[in-house]
Amino acid sequence: MNKKGRHNAITDVLGIEVGHSTDLDHLTGVTVVKAPEGSLGGVDVRGGSPGTRETDLLSPVNRIQRVDAIALCGSSAFGLNSVGGVMRSLEERGIGHPVRDGKMVVPIVPAAVIFDLGRGGGNRHISEEEGYRACHEASGGRLHQGNVGAGTGAVSGGLKGGLGTASEVLESDFTVASIVVVNSSGTTVDPETGGFYVRGLELDSEFGDLRSDVPAKMVPRPVIRRRTQGQHTTIGVVATDAELTKPQATKVAQMAHDGLARAIYPAHTMFDGDTIFTVSTKKGGPPGDGSDNDEDRELTKIGLSAADTFARAIIHAMISAESVAEFTCHREKYPGAYR
């Protein structure tokens, strides 16, 4: 029987650390997921309006076999400026791809952004210094969720969105975990009842006082016309200690999108830039017993867990979010969904 990890967070994958920079005045921020030495990555981009950096580098056909950190950024395309600070923090510690006969390093830091500009008033966006601070202060253990880091200004289907995380330990002892910034044009709940579409994925009573008997119908409806249409995107990272190849990491990122699509309706629209990264720390050995069929079966289990943990992390983001400015959180909009 699979179970959640000790902290029910992406930091349950040994060596993964997370840091945030949060601007509550302007409702934006950045979250950095640091990977241990020897990690590699994959990515899958499915939204119609992505803002990304270094995603091509993660393609299975390309050469570099490492990833040092993933940056999840607010401030739309301006937020990619913060990645320079992440790189500077890593470079100071000698972390990165060695160049010039090992005398220098170039940190490998893929990134993706959400649109949160102007939600807190003013036109300020995150800077290189905030990326540096988020990386420099990254640590393991329990994680803050909701209005923190890149989730500070997130909005989901008209409700206050945020940052969430979840983990799962498989029967094979591999750990799979996700961290997500929920900033979607679609909704995570039935708008009439407030019931979450993927409430049934709960492990070990992780959702606390969230009721399990609130119905959640997913009925066909037209794309809602909103003043903020096109100003969204859900992004995140799946991490595992299984020793994956780049093609396998890419497949896990693809399967994780199934969790996003189950938890958010509609997903992958032309108004979202939905992007999911995979990080394999390679600390737990390869999947399977070495035979092709067993390896594929184990990889499928990892991909299924990636989808489930991503969906569960989406619920954690929404129930942890707090109302701010004109954006009402789920707890205040739907008090009847809680005991």
Is residue 282 in some structural domain? yes
Q: What Cα–Cα distance (Å) separates residue 271 from each residue in 17, 58, 81, 210, 241?
A: 31, 24, 22, 30, 33
**pLDDT for the residue numbered 219:** 73
Can you list the residues of the chain whose pLDDT is less than 50? none
Position 224 scores a pLDDT of: 55
- pLDDT at residue 281 in the model: 98
Examine residue 175 and state whether it is found in any structural domain, yes or no: yes
Say if 322 falls within a structural domain: yes
How big is the chain by its Cα radius of gyration, in Å? 19
Domain range for 88 is 10-337
pLDDT (tens digit, 9 = 90+) per residue, 284-303? 888 877 777 889 999 999 99
For the chain, the domain total comes to 1
- Relative to beta strand 69-73, strand 111-113 is parallel
* Tokens representing residue 91 in the block: 């470079």
pLDDT of 288 reads: 78
pLDDT of 225? 55
193-249 pLDDT per residue, tens: 999 999 999 999 999 999 999 999 987 665 555 555 557 899 999 999 999 999 999
2, part of any domain: no
128 exposed, middle or buried (CB, 10 Å; 0-12, 13-18, 19+)?
middle
Q: Is residue 3 part of a domain?
A: no
Q: In this structure, are residues 310 and 276 in contact, taking their beta carbons and an 8 Å threshold? A: yes
Q: Which of 140, 142, 202, 198 is nearest to 2 (CA)?
A: 202
pLDDT of the residue at 229: 52
Task: Provide the pairing of β-strand 111-113 with 52-53.
Answer: antiparallel
